[in-house]
Structure 1
Amino acid sequence: MRCQEFVELVTSYLEGDLPEGDRAEFERHMELCPGCERYLDQFRTTMTLLGSLPAESISVSARTHLLEAFAGWRAGEDDGRA
C-alpha cells in the first residue's frame, strides 16, 4: 500500500468499514510507515477535538469548491496549487 492510498482509507478504517484484507494491509502499512502512523494519530486527535460539524456550518460555495477539489485529487489531478 502506498501512503496516498493509506490517507484515502483513513476514514473508512476509523469507521470500521474496511474489508478484513484491506484493514490488515492498512495496519501493516501503518506499522512500517511512521509518517502514516503519525497522520492517523493526528486525524484521530482532530476528530476528537472537533467532534462533528453541522452541514450548515459551511457555505454552499465553499462546500462545492471542496467537493470539486477532493474529486480532482482522488482522480489524480493536480491543479498546481500547493
Structure 2
Amino acid sequence: MIIFSDHALEQNKKRKIPKKRIIETVRNPEEILDSFKGRKLTRKQFGNKILEVVTTAEGLNTIIITQYYLGGDYESKIRQKN
C-alpha cells in the first residue's frame, strides 16, 4: 500500500502535483536511486519535467516522504550519464 506522510501532504498543498502522477512515479519509475537512511528516490518524466518522489519502506507499505519536480530534459540527462 502507498501511504502519504503528513509532510508529503503538506508539501503537496504548495506544489499541487497530481496524486495520480506521484503514485504512478512510485509504481512505475524510470529511475530509482538509493538515498540516505534506506530511502529511495523514484523518478519519472512528465513532459519536460522530472518528478522525484522520496519514499521509504515500512513492512509492506511504501511511505511517500515528499515529492517535487526537478525540471529539465530527462533524456539529455540520461545520455550525459552514459
**Same fold by TM-score, threshold 0.5 exceeded?**
no
Normalised-by-shorter TM-score class: under 0.3
TM-score normalised over the length of structure 1:
0.25
- Which structure ranks higher in relative contact order (CA pairs < 8 Å, sequence separation ≥ 6)? 2
- Structure whose CA Rg is larger: 1
Higher helix share: 1
